[in-house]
Amino acid sequence: MPATAMGPVIGRLSDRVNAKYLVLSGLLGMAPGLALFAVRTLRDAPAWRCVPGLLVCGLGMGLALVPLNNTALRTVPPGLRGTASDGHLPRLVRQYLLPRVLGSGHTQSS
């Protein structure tokens, strides 16, 4: 969700700043998120404790993936950009719906 919310802002920023710096900072930004996720989600921790780490990871992903997509689509001829960017919709559907569908039948046992 943070990656989606940051998309327009990072997209405009990637037009002005070299994409490699944004991608590098995004990947480096994911590292503390993963560390926070690992530290805060111990065996008997409640589920809400994973949220801060996931938010930081989402911000890092947005910072890394948006410039990559922007750079990739910039190399495609203008007449084919719609076709080239169409592959993102199925990925987004899988990314957002699949965990919810698979997790809907999961119940936490005491």
Q: How far is CA 97 from CA 70, 76, 85, 91, in A?
A: 24, 29, 20, 10
pLDDT at residue 108 tops 70: no
Residues 6+ apart with CB under 8 A from 45: none
pTM over 0.75: no
CA–CA separation, 58 and 1 (whole Å): 7
Which DSSP letter does residue 41 get? -
C-alpha span between 89 and 102 (Å, rounded): 19
Q: What are the tens digits of pLDDT across the range 15-67?
A: 888 888 988 988 898 898 888 888 877 777 777 777 888 888 888 888 888 88
